[in-house]
Every structure is written in structure tokens, then in C-alpha cells.
Amino acid sequence: MEKKYINPDTLLAPRGYTHIVTIAGPAKLIFISGQVAVDKDGKLVGPGDLKTQIRQAANNLKAALAAAGATAADIVKTNTYIVNYKQSDYSAMREARSELFPDGEPPASTMVGVTSLAVEGLMVEMEAIAAVK
């Protein structure tokens, strides 16, 4: 088994974690750390705007996948955490997921309402597991 730790220069440099860990075997599994609504320089994108934050987190997720040689089509599992989740947030999440996964079978997923995330102002965090041959 071969493990590879990747912190692409297209994402904010992490402190205390790795953005991507891949494990190669018969299939390569890719574990993407939770991506949030910050740009490469660490600036919050879309303060107070859940839809904008979801799109930024999804774009960061795509950048992490690309750095590991994968696409959104390779995702097999997602976990999404939304601060102070209310039922009306579901439509924003569903719209963003339809952009992230426009074709094929959507991955298994979990969405969880939480009281807060690691940094003040963040409204959503998305993590994923992908598998490529």
C-alpha cells in the first residue's frame, strides 16, 4: 500500500492537517479534508451567504480532487456540515450538489447541522472520499 499526502498550491496552506491523503492499491482511495468557503489566501468568501459559501467549498473540493488526479465523478462519499441548519438550507445544498454532480450516480452523502465550524463566519464544510482506478 502506498500513501501520499498532498497539499496543492491551489488551496490555502494547511496548519495541522493535510488537504488530501491518497492510498493506492487495486483502486486509489482519496480522502479530502473538509473544504470551506475560503480562497487560496485564506479570505472568507461569501460572508453570511450560504449559497456562495457552498459554491466556494465545492470549488475547493474540485481543486483538491484535481490535485489528486480525480474529478467530482470519482467521489463515492461526502459529508457536509451546515451551521445552524434549517430546512430552507436544503434547497441551496441540493442546487450546489446538482452543479457538482451533474451526470451519473450521485455519491453516498451525509448532511449534518452543527452549531459552529473551526473559524467564525464559516457556514458550510464539505469533505469527500473518492476512488479512482
Mean pLDDT, residues 18-32:
89
Total residue count of the chain as it appears in this document: 133
> So what's the pLDDT on residue 17?
83
Q: Work out the pLDDT band at 86, boundaries 50, 70, 90.
A: confident
- Among 5-19, 44-58, 89-103, which is the least confidently predicted range? 89-103
What is the torsional sign of CA 28, 31, 37, 39? negative
The CATH class for the domain spanning 2-132 reads alpha beta
> So what's the pLDDT on residue 1?
66
**Is pLDDT at 89 greater than 90 in this prediction?**
no
Residues in Cβ contact with 73 at an 8 Å cutoff, skipping those fewer than 6 apart: 101, 103, 104
**Is pLDDT at 58 greater than 70 in this prediction?**
yes
- The rounded Cα 23 to chain-centroid distance in angstroms is 18
**Is pLDDT at 100 greater than 90 in this prediction?**
no
